């Protein structure tokens, strides 16, 4: 009797111990009656909390890529002094003993979920064509050592990668695109983002997703970016203004029109003049600035990047004011390539070919408007190719325009652009790396470029309803 009672007691005791064990291991979903074991969603404030260890490390340029390199990073506010160390990279580990220290410019940023310090250093007087190693920290807590290479003194062939809007589900769905682009062009000289990197201008969690998607790549390959409408927030007075994140976290040139510092700027990389414009505001001031920059440009290739398209791929998304102000300047100076975003589809123009494209419907609108009455020929000096692209998962309808040579819907893309002397090769690739659109531009002395269409690997991707409507 005593034994039976003992066993019952033990069983009861073991049973008590066994029930929670079952709940935790055998019933991890919390489906056990009377228990709710669902794991709560982790919140951005926890995921993206800054610490004393540097994160969001990103290379950019404020000056000549042959002799300078800027780096910016984030820490928690207790880190009051940021330090960067720099040495010429070596094959062995002893380069670090020769490192020089640089003190950062630091500033606080209060966001919707935290307060952080952003630190920025510009390395100057670097040797062209040299691989450097650097790390960032506070003297106690350091990042790993990263490498970057300065541009060579003389122009050499190089590639860069261009992304349209990332904007939504950045961690979940955009990360695969930037990483596929890295697999495709690991030695790209820089990455160019044409606006709407995130969705909510002041959401630090979204910026955390954007930096997380690029990861260490951002610390090894310089980035250039222009702000889209989603990098604009409303001020207390209702005015649209640049996100408070932009300037602390990106170091770009400040030589644009006053008030547009680090959003409107130009850099030269080898034989390419890159012009970044802020299509959100003050378009007329930028038109004057752009004309002046291009009037003195010495680089054979010119690429302009901004967010809102000159030729929209979306119905009711036209930007006539921008086109009226900026396109005549692109025409006047024969800008080679214009890279844009905003429309969440893909669309790429060709050239208007006299005698072939005389149908007004096949020509971009402004080109038609510029043709004098009765003249059956477009200005032969035009030759700018306009591209709209998207890298994130948000997808819109594409209202097919006859002057677009290649279109896409429901397709995440990245673009690799390769420059080699007199030739520019453009490749748009899908999120899985398939060649979706390609062409080559060749310089022809005194004339517009020669445009050579190249074969894609996959058919045009358009929604069935649209395919029906364009037949």
Q: Which residues bind Fe ion (CB under 5 A)?
A: 196, 228-229, 342
Query: Closest approach of Cβ 21 to Fe ion, in Å?
Result: 52
Query: Closest approach of Cβ 207 to Fe ion, in Å?
Result: 16
Instruction: Kindly tell me which of 111 and 199 has the beta carbon lying closer to Fe ion.
Output: 199
Instruction: Kindly tell me which of 339 and 378 has the beta carbon lying closer to Fe ion.
Output: 339
Q: Return d(Cα 185, Cα 19) in angstroms, integer.
A: 54
Output the residue with the shortest Cβ distance to Fe ion: 342
Instruction: Kindly tell me which of 367 and 397 has the beta carbon lying closer to Fe ion.
Output: 397
Query: Closest approach of Cβ 196 to Fe ion, in Å?
Result: 4
List of long-range contacts for 366-373, beta carbons under 8 Å, 24+ apart: 366/310, 366/323, 366/324, 366/327, 366/328, 370/328, 370/331
Q: Give the pair of three-digit tokens for residue 100.
A: 């020089």
Query: Closest approach of Cβ 343 to Fe ion, in Å?
Result: 8
In this structure, the strands spanning 115-123 and 69-75 are antiparallel
Query: Closest approach of Cβ 228 to Fe ion, in Å?
Result: 4
Q: Return d(Cα 396, Cα 380) in angstroms, integer.
A: 33
Query: Closest approach of Cβ 399 to Fe ion, in Å?
Result: 16
Dihedral Cα 35, 39, 43, 46, nearest 10 deg:
110
Query: Closest approach of Cβ 344 to Fe ion, in Å?
Result: 8
Q: Return d(Cα 444, Cα 450) in angstroms, integer.
A: 7
Q: Give the pair of three-digit tokens for residue 377.
A: 């020929």
Instruction: Kindly tell me which of 341 and 364 has the beta carbon lying closer to Fe ion.
Output: 341
Instruction: Kindly tell me which of 168 and 266 has the beta carbon lying closer to Fe ion.
Output: 168
SS (H, E, C) 380-430: CCCCCEEEECECCCCCCCCCCCCCEEEEECCCCEEEEEEEECCEEEEEEEE
Instruction: Kindly tell me which of 114 and 389 has the beta carbon lying closer to Fe ion.
Output: 389
Q: Return d(Cα 247, Cα 269) in angstroms, integer.
A: 22
Query: Closest approach of Cβ 76 to Fe ion, in Å?
Result: 32
Partner residues linked to 109 by β-bridges: 116
131: number of Cβ within 10 Å:
12
Query: Closest approach of Cβ 439 to Fe ion, in Å?
Result: 25
Instruction: Kindly tell me which of 202 and 331 has the beta carbon lying closer to Fe ion.
Output: 202
- Provide the b/e sequence for 72-100 (b: ≥16 CB within 10 Å): bbbbeeebeebbbbbbebeeeeebeeebe
| Residue 205 backbone dihedrals phi, psi, to 5 degrees | -60, -35
Instruction: Kindly tell me which of 196 and 336 has the beta carbon lying closer to Fe ion.
Output: 196
466: number of Cβ within 10 Å:
15
Q: Which helix (H) or strand (E) holds 329?
A: helix 320-332
Query: Closest approach of Cβ 250 to Fe ion, in Å?
Result: 18
Helix (H, G, I), strand (E, B) or coil at 454: strand
Asked if 249 and 262 count as a contact pair (C-beta separation under 8 A), the reply is no
Contacts of 310 (CB under 8 A, 6+ apart): 319, 322, 323, 326, 327, 330, 338, 340, 364, 366, 386
Instruction: Kindly tell me which of 117 and 342 has the beta carbon lying closer to Fe ion.
Output: 342
CA neighbor of 410 nearest in space, from 424, 426, 396? 396
- Provide the b/e sequence for 143-159 (b: ≥16 CB within 10 Å): bebbebbbbeeebeebb
**CA 87 to chain centroid:** 28
Instruction: Kindly tell me which of 333 and 342 has the beta carbon lying closer to Fe ion.
Output: 342
Instruction: Kindly tell me which of 221 and 398 has the beta carbon lying closer to Fe ion.
Output: 398
Query: Closest approach of Cβ 195 to Fe ion, in Å?
Result: 6
């Amino acid at each position: 009797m005593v034994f039976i009672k003992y066993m019952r007691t033990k069983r009861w005791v073991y049973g008590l111990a066994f029930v929670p064990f079952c709940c935790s291991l055998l019933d991890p979903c919390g489906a056990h009656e009377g228990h709710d074991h669902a794991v709560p969603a982790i919140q951005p404030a926890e995921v993206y909390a800054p610490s004393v260890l540097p994160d969001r490390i990103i290379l950019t340029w404020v000056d000549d890529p042959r002799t300078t390199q800027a780096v910016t990073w984030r820490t928690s506010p207790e880190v009051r002094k940021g330090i960067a160390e720099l040495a010429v990279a070596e094959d062995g580990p002893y380069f670090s003993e020769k490192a020089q220290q640089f003190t950062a410019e630091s500033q606080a940023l209060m966001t919707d979920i935290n307060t952080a310090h952003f630190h920025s250093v510009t390395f100057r007087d670097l040797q062209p064509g040299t691989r450097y190693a650097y790390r960032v920290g506070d003297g106690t807590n350091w990042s790993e050592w990263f490498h970057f290479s300065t541009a060579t003194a003389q122009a050499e062939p190089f590639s860069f990668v261009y992304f349209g809007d990332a904007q939504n589900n950045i961690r979940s769905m955009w990360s695969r695109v930037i990483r596929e682009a890295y697999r495709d062009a690991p030695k790209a000289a820089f990455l160019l983002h044409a606006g709407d990197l995130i969705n909510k201008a002041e959401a630090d969690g979204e910026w955390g997703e954007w930096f997380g998607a690029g990861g260490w790549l951002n610390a090894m390959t310089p980035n250039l970016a222009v702000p889209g409408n989603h990098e604009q927030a409303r001020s207390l007075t209702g005015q649209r203004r640049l996100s408070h994140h932009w300037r602390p976290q990106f170091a770009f040139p400040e030589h644009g029109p006053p008030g547009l510092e680090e959003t409107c700027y130009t850099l030269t990389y080898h034989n390419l003049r890159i012009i970044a414009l802020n299509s959100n505001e003050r378009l007329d001031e930028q038109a004057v600035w752009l004309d002046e920059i291009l009037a003195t440009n010495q680089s054979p290739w010119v690429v302009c990047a901004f967010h809102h398209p000159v030729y929209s791929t979306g119905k009711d998304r036209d930007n006539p004011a921008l086109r009226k102000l900026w396109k005549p300047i692109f025409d006047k100076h024969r800008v080679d390539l214009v890279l844009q975003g905003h429309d969440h589809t893909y669309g790429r123009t060709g050239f208007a070919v006299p005698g072939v494209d005389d149908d007004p419907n096949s020509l971009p609108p402004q080109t038609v408007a510029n043709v004098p009455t009765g003249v059956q020929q477009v200005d032969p000096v035009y030759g700018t190719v306009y591209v709209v692209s998207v890298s994130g998962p948000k997808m819109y309808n594409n209202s097919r325009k006859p002057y677009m040579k290649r279109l896409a819907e429901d397709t995440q893309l990245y673009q690799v652009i390769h420059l080699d002397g007199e030739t520019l090769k453009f490749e748009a690739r899908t999120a899985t790396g398939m060649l979706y659109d390609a062409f080559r531009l060749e310089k022809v002395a005194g004339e517009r470029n020669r445009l050579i269409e190249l074969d894609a690997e996959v058919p045009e991707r358009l929604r069935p309803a649209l395919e029906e409507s364009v037949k």
